[in-house]
């Protein structure tokens, strides 16, 4: 199943016999909370999911957005009406990062039918709603392990033995600037692959063949296993989704640079060269 859905397809499915559960995951790095935007207008029937509180654990040794406690994540999804046998569509304000984080977590914990609304809220052609729904509780029970996951040591190893992609902006990869974490640069051996290059100007994903060519040019398909990291495991999930669209399976290093760079003992590379 394709991991994205167009707005027109969502309109059709929402009116069909198995309408999907809709999750609004509006979030921006360093930006205001998404709930006020949700309350000002959202897709009819959509439930707000707080990325910082429900799709991540408390910041700490595991980075700025460590994986959430599995039981707490399952409870949050059931409160939102998520069931194992019901399709789920997630969306955000347009970048796709927050939606991709929810997509990855649900897929990683075993939900078989999760898609991201391509283009986010801006692609929706219908009216928005201010009504806050109270869905019947779902029955989803998370079972982690359905998607590959890396820790710091595995990411370091993959950078040497396969292909490790850095989904952050190129200037952060090079270490020219680092506005958030302790130090700038990248994991030695990682290849720069900004996730912003996976989408067109309207926020929709580029065609699968374009994405396949992009990732092949970076070494996918010839380098063995593929891994992805970013700043804190959010935009990296978006790159994992883009890779799946392109036909490649990739593991996510969830702790990402925020975890890696917090440990002074871990090596840091700077400049445009992977090493």
Max CA-CA distance within the chain? 55
Sign of CA dihedral 68, 69, 74, 77: negative
The partner residues of 191 in beta bridges, in order of sequence, read 165
- Asked if residue 102 lies in contact with residue 117, where contact means CB atoms within 8 angstroms, the answer is no
In angstroms, rounded to a whole number, what is the distance separating the alpha carbons of residues 220 and 245? 13
Token digits for 190?
Answer: 């990682």
Count of residues making up the chain:
275
Rg over alpha carbons for the chain, rounded to the nearest Å, is: 18
Q: Please say whether the beta carbons of 233 and 63 come within 8 A.
A: yes
Helical residues (DSSP H) of 83-229, grouped into ranges: 97-108, 152-161, 170-174, 208-217
Secondary structure (3-state) at 199: strand
**What number of CA atoms fall less than 13 Å from residue 153's CA on the CB side?**
0
Distances (CA, A) of 94 to 97, 119, 267: 8, 6, 34
Q: What residues are labeled active site?
A: 230
Q: Residue 231 is encoded by which pair of tokens?
A: 């700043």
Edge-to-edge strands, sheet with 191-192: 149-150, 251-253, 226-229, 163-166, 191-192
């Amino acid at each position: 199943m394709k991991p994205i859905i167009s707005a027109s397809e969502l309109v059709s499915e929402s009116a069909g016999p198995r309408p999907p559960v809709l999750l609004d995951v509006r979030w921006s790095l360093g930006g205001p909370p998404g709930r006020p935007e949700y309350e000002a207008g959202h897709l009819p029937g959509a439930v707000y999911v707080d990325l910082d509180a429900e799709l991540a654990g408390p910041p700490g040794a595991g980075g700025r957005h460590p994986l959430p406690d599995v039981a707490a994540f399952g409870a949050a999804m059931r409160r939102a009406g998520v069931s194992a046998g019901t399709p789920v569509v997630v969306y955000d304000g347009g970048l796709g990062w927050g939606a991709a984080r929810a997509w990855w977590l649900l897929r990683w914990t075993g939900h078989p039918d999760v898609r991201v609304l391509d283009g986010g809220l801006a692609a929706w052609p219908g009216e928005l709603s201010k009504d806050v729904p109270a869905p019947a509780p779902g029955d989803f029970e998370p079972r982690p392990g359905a998607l590959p996951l890396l820790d710091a040591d595995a990411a370091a190893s993959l950078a040497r033995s396969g292909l490790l992609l850095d989904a952050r902006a190129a200037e952060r990869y090079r270490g020219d600037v680092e506005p958030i974490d302790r130090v700038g640069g990248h994991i030695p051996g990682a290849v720069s692959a900004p996730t912003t290059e996976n989408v067109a100007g309207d926020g929709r994903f580029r065609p699968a063949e374009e994405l396949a060519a992009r990732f092949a040019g970076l070494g996918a398909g010839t380098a063995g296993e593929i891994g992805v990291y970013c700043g804190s495991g959010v935009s990296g999930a978006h790159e994992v989704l883009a890779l799946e669209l392109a036909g490649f399976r990739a593991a996510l290093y969830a702790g990402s640079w925020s975890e890696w760079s917090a440990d002074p003992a871990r090596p840091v590379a700077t400049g445009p060269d992977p090493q």
